[in-house]
Amino acid sequence: MEMHPNSIAAFETLEQHLQEREKIVLDVFMRTGKPLHDRNVMWYLGEVDPNRVRPRITKLIEKRLLVECGKGVDKYSPYKGRTRICKWDPNYDFAAPLDHPPAAD
C-alpha cells in the first residue's frame, strides 16, 4: 500500500517530534507489521535488556502511534510473566497534532 504524498509529509513532520530511540522502536513495528511483545522488539534490536525499549513503547502509545492490543505470554521468552502486546496503528492521523485527543469510537 502506497502512502499519499500528504501523509508522507505529515509523517516526516511527526518524526521531528520523536526521539531517536522512539524512531528506532517505531520502525520495528512498522517493518514487521504485526503485534509484538516488548521482548520481541528487544530481540529485533539486538538488545539484552527489555527496559531499553519499554519506555519508548510507552511513549509511542501515549503519542497514539502504537496501540496496545492485548496481553500474553511470550512463548520464546524464558520469563513466564504476562506482557503487553502492541502494534503500529496504520490508521493514525499523521496530520493531527500530538496533543490532540484520540477520536471517540
Whether 75 has a pLDDT exceeding 50, the answer reads: yes
pLDDT in tens, 9-68: 666 666 677 889 998 998 898 888 888 888 889 989 999 888 899 999 999 988 888 888
**What do you get for the CA distance between the two ends of the chain, in Å?**
25
Count of residues in the chain? 105
Looking at 3.40.50.1820, 1.10.3720.10, 1.10.10.10, 3.90.550.10, the CATH number of the domain 19-88 comes to: 1.10.10.10
Whether residue 1 is predicted with pLDDT greater than 90 in this model: the reply is no
Mean pLDDT score, 83-93: 73
- When pLDDT is cut at 50, 70 and 90, the band that residue 100 belongs to is very low
Backbone angles phi, psi at 86, to 5 degrees: -125, 160
* Burial bucket for residue 36 (CB in 10 Å: 0-12, 13-18, 19+): buried
- Model pLDDT, residue 78: 67
